[in-house]
Structure 1
Amino acid sequence: MLSIDLNCDMGEGMVTDTRLMPYISSANIACGFHAGDEQTMCQTVALCLQHGVAIGAHPGFKDKTNFGRKPIPLSEMELFEWIQQQIDALQQICTAMRATLHHIKLHGALYNMASADADLAGMVAKIIHTLYPHLLVYALSGSYLIAACKALGLRTASEVFADRTYQDNGQLTPRTEANALIETTAAALQQVLEMVQNKQVTTVSGKKITIAADTLCLHGDGAHAVDFAKEIHHILKQKGIGIQTL
């Protein structure tokens, strides 16, 4: 049976977290650097346990002012320490609450940079392999980070996006560009089915490129985030596509 994991970034201060939980299978929990704190991490882990949702760490740059979306140059040691501090903080909470940490997904600018920069991707993969070799790594489908993690023997999940447009090289269109987001539910649903069923996506230039789709990201910060999640959940079920954690 064809299936897909539905993931969503959580614990970032959005009011939609509780209402989104029934429609996802894995959550990426902010670890205090770009958003969140110990209390929000505990609350979000509790929600995941309540709904049977896989728990993931969502580390980003230490920059709440810019929500982790501004690039910050770091040495390998600094990056090592920042990633370790964040994931360890969530791991300690999971241990205390008898929950299992399932995966890692980078946030914001760090996610985008590690997707497009081979050297940074290699650095991140090395850090994860050293500290958390047992965890699954969610990363942009076809990215340098997917390749770097696979090269070290890490388990990976190729991530695709319902509401973001794609460039011909498989990268997401930068948010700074006008056509970065898919604005209508119908268009987003069409893209989701194309990626999940056909393993391809239509780029902004109209070209169809091959894409691996293990996990689909749903954003929880939009005005219609919950309705959008319901629509995607419904159409996948309608098409006989299972929704399950990897």
Structure 2
Amino acid sequence: MRTSDADTPRRIDLNSDLGEGVSTSEHAGDARMLEIVSSANIACAFHAGDPATIHRTVHAAVRRGVTVGAHVAYNDREGFGRRDLEVPSDELRADLVYQLGAIREIARSAGTTVRYVKPHGALYNTAAVDARVAEDVAAAVVTVDPELVLLGLPGSVALDAARAAGLVTAAEAFADRAYTATGRLVPRSVEGAVLHDPEEVAARMLRLVHEGVVRSIEGTDVTIVADSICVHGDTPGAARMAARLREVLTGAGVSLRPFVTS
């Protein structure tokens, strides 16, 4: 994606976590995001959303030509999927297969297919460092469809396990999150972990695309190799931030395209 040749066109995908609400205002926010992003990580009703919301969001993505991904999670609506849970492997794999099966059928009814999988919240963070959980995620995906791509943190155990299971993987950067000097996300409990300034976010991600680095919370540059950039749909002002990011990237000649295509 990035080379030393300054004349080589850059390309990147923009993704967002959608389908996580049930209110009219949340639906409106999703609709706005679908005008901006190229891939949508749609909640599968275990951490947020419901069957009607999945159906509505998938159909809206199809109308906008946005690639559909499954945003799978721990069964934890109360904690929005962000609580660290100890889930036995057989239960976790069954939960993931259930979520993937549901959204795949809804996608089929909308005339499209689910192209990739992105774990949510605590499952994403745990699979990034815990081999057992990472292998459970990979095994569940392979069981449902070995052609699905796993989207995750660059250099993570999750992507290693997915590749070992025969899956294609893609790596993502987070536009609205701070990084540590080791390339991990700063925990949300730490001040400054979530970024809110659209101009700062756009500048950081433009540098990521062109140079492959972001400034860490410690003030050092950290290398991040990414196929996609995520703007969290539940971050206040998310649509405005994503719109500004898209504007800055395209204005700099960056092509915005899904990281996985037919």
* TM-score, L = length of structure 1: 0.96
The answer for the alignment partner of 1:230 in structure 2 is 243
Contact 1:168-1:209 at 8 Å conserved across structures: yes
Deviates more, 1:85-94 or 1:129-138: 129-138
Deviates more, 1:182-191 or 1:157-166: 182-191
- What is the aligned length? 246
Percent of aligned positions that are identical? 37
The answer for the alignment partner of 2:101 in structure 1 is 88
Shift >4 Å, 4+ stretches: none
Map 1:1-246 onto structure 2 (within 5 A). 1-13=9-21, 14-15=26-27, 16-246=29-259
Q: Does the residue aligned with 1:116 lie in a helix, a strand or coil?
A: coil
Q: Does the residue aligned with 2:35 lie in a helix, a strand or coil?
A: helix
Contact 2:197-2:241 at 8 Å conserved across structures: no
Which 5+ residue runs of structure 1 have no aligned equivalent? none
Superposition deviation, residue 139 in structure 1: 0.4
CA distance in 2, matches of 1:223, 1:204: 21
CA distance in 2, matches of 1:123, 1:41: 24
CA distance in 1, matches of 2:207, 2:166: 29
Query: What's the CA shift string for 1:3-34, capped at 9, x where partnerless?
Result: 11100111111240011111100101111111
CA distance in 2, matches of 1:70, 1:152: 27
- Return the letter of the residue paired with 2:149: L
Which 5+ residue runs of structure 2 have no aligned equivalent? 1-8
